[in-house]
Amino acid sequence: MIAGLPPIYGLYTAIVTPIVAALFGSSHHLVSGPTTTSSIAVFATISLLAVPQSQDFISLALTFTIMVGLVQFSLGVSRLGSVVNFISHSVVTGYTVGAALLIATSQVKHVIGLSIPNDATFIKTWEFVFSQFREFNLNTLSLGTGTIVIAIISKKLFPKLPNLLLAMLFGTAVSYFIGSELFPVPLVGKMPRGLPAFHFPNLDYNVLRELAPSAIAVAMLGVIEVISISRSIANKSKQRLDSNQEFIGLGLSNIVGGFFSCYAGSGSFTRSALNYASGAKTPMAAIMAALFLLMIVSLVAPLAAYLPISTMGGIILLVAYSLIDFKGIRQIFRADKSEKVVFAMTALSILFINLQFSILIGVFFSLIFYLMRTSKPKVVMLAPHVNKGVRKFMNAELYQLVQCPQLHVIRIDESLYFGAVENIKNSLYELSKTKKFILIVGTGINFIDASGAELMVAEAERMRSLGGELYFSQLKKPVRDFLEKDYKKKIGELNFFFSKEEAIATIYSKLDTSVCTLCEARIFKECAR
């Protein structure tokens, strides 16, 4: 209904989409289907082109679903699943906490029996709850609370049985045997019968052109949501995921679903968490759930009429609580300050801004902090240190080692990219004030871009103007190959070495011998000669 479609289309989506996604995805617990986020996205896109609930609206929504699926399938086939590497643990944890609170908030009205508008915000919902506490429906409150208690007790007494199902049967039995007259509570009601019908998409060029930009945006939102949910549950189940396969599974589920009266689906946090909490071990659980739903819709829909809404609300409250990883939250708050900020911004953006943008907000802040951290590389001073007969270059400041008065041996512990150029430039400038020769040990440099290479050229020329030189040793192959293309000649072809020992043997011959004569450090092997 949020998507602007007849309710039966939500049931069709909950039947077809999870089966296809489970067959072709990689997660053992992810359950795809209609979600609030995807529903809002469909409505926001199609309502601009047709009247909700109309045949035109339905036709466009199903075509739109196929287009979304094609984009998602293309991302998976193109092996672009690596984009999820930008979703950090703090983002996933924050998303989980925010979604759990949002899910719980949406179910409170069903447990306490208050009529709260569906479009009420997180704050407005709780304001309404606290201001209207005298209006609570004691019947729904007692049944919802009883459901929660039964679920908790049955889990402790019978851990191998599905405690949530037992709690649901308890609520249904109370409603059925006591009756609506003695114990009136809102019920789910009869569900419509019928099977998903085949639908051929609207291939009008103008329609496809209108829908294309939104299809790309909704497709990206869907894959981020699916990966976030599956990774969140995989953290608990210790399963290894294939992001590209998840993209393919989601894409195929929407492509097939669009042909069988389904609208754009995504991963469902509530159903996936319920699937895991119920003890699912393989994707067959999601497939069986969809087939049972098909059976219910086709054969036993009238029996759902006795299921109290407050019972469902109580079960979902328990699921929402189980989603919160308290141990993970404690670890984040013991970690770096930036991790706390990323966690908080992701969780709060779900509650106060928008669920569909919360992941993007979390990723944005993660990248900002990453760039801030990598833009300030650590420059470590090195000097020889003999320990148990083994001679190694170690952190001179940490081990309080004597250094050469004419040569700086340094290690840059970060990549040389455009964001770090200014800080590295300042560090080299300060070092050149005291010594004319600098040897950069490249073991800590994983990557270099054009800005970093140009900086090295400029610094090499500046050092030569001062009567010194800038040298490099032990550069990693990708960095060395990049510099050799266009920059090695400008820096100096004889200024690159494969080892520190080889570099120092060459540099030593260029040092001021008058200084060496009076030097008491004599830290290099060459000094003894």
pLDDT digits (tens, 9 = 90+) for 10-24: 889 999 999 999 999
pLDDT at 118: 62
Same domain, yes or no, for 231 and 342?
yes
Last residue of a domain, one of 346, 369, 392: 369
Tokens, residue 31: 């359950």
Same domain, yes or no, for 417 and 435?
yes
Same domain, yes or no, for 407 and 293?
no
The CATH code of the domain that includes 516 is 3.30.750.24
The C-alpha atoms of residue 228 and residue 37 are separated, in whole angstroms, by: 14
pLDDT at 284: 94
Residue 355 lies in a domain: yes
DSSP string, 36-93: HHHHHHHHHHHTTTS-TTSHHHHHHHHHHHHHHHHHHHHHHHTT-GGGGGGS-HHHHH
At residue 355 the predicted structure's pLDDT band, cuts being 50, 70 and 90, is low
Sign of the alpha-carbon dihedral angle for 79, 83, 44, 103: positive
The C-alpha atoms of residue 84 and residue 145 are separated, in whole angstroms, by: 39
Residue 1 lies in a domain: no
For 277-301, b where at least 16 C-beta lie within 10 A, e where not — what string? beebeebebbbebbeebbebbeeeb
Residue 524 lies in a domain: yes
**Per-residue model confidence as pLDDT tens digits over 411-450:** 999 889 999 999 999 999 999 999 999 999 999 999 999 9
The H or E element spanning position 386 is strand 378-387
196 within 8 A of 261, measured Cβ to Cβ: yes
Same domain, yes or no, for 216 and 300?
yes
Residue 455 lies in a domain: yes
Q: At what angle do helices 36-46 and 205-237 cross, to 10 degrees?
A: 170
Instruction: Please compute the mean of the pLDDT values over residues 114-141 and round it to a whole number.
Output: 80
The three-class DSSP label of residue 238 is coil
The C-alpha atoms of residue 144 and residue 136 are separated, in whole angstroms, by: 12
Residue 49 lies in a domain: yes
Distances 202 to 3, 58, 259, 262 between C-alpha atoms, Å: 19, 11, 11, 14
Same domain, yes or no, for 387 and 293?
no
Same domain, yes or no, for 347 and 384?
no
Same domain, yes or no, for 330 and 392?
no
pLDDT at 407: 92
Residue 445 lies in a domain: yes
pLDDT at 429: 93
Same domain, yes or no, for 429 and 331?
no
Instruction: Indicate the DSSP class of residue 407.
Output: E
Same domain, yes or no, for 266 and 348?
yes
**Per-residue model confidence as pLDDT tens digits over 462-483:** 999 999 999 999 999 999 999 9
pLDDT at 302: 65
**Per-residue model confidence as pLDDT tens digits over 274-286:** 888 888 899 999 9
Lowest mean pLDDT of 41-45, 156-160, 427-431, 507-511, name the range: 41-45
Instruction: Indicate the DSSP class of residue 521.
Output: -
Quote the number of domains for the chain: 2
Name, in order, each residue with C-beta under 8 angstroms of 369's C-beta and a sequence gap of 6 or more. Answer: 338, 341, 342
Q: Which domain holds residue 381?
A: 376-528
Residue 273 lies in a domain: yes
Last residue of a domain, one of 351, 369, 387: 369
Last residue of a domain, one of 352, 369, 386: 369
Residues paired with residue 496 on neighbouring β-strands, in sequence order: 472
The three-class DSSP label of residue 380 is strand
The C-alpha atoms of residue 469 and residue 407 are separated, in whole angstroms, by: 10
Same domain, yes or no, for 494 and 477?
yes
Instruction: Please compute the mean of the pLDDT values over residues 302-323 and round it to a whole number.
Output: 80
Residue 2 lies in a domain: no
Same domain, yes or no, for 342 and 432?
no
Residues paired with residue 217 on neighbouring β-strands, in sequence order: none
**Per-residue model confidence as pLDDT tens digits over 50-99:** 888 888 999 999 999 999 999 999 988 988 766 666 767 788 788 778 87
The C-alpha atoms of residue 405 and residue 478 are separated, in whole angstroms, by: 32
The C-alpha atoms of residue 449 and residue 354 are separated, in whole angstroms, by: 36
Same domain, yes or no, for 76 and 14?
yes
Residues paired with residue 410 on neighbouring β-strands, in sequence order: 381, 440
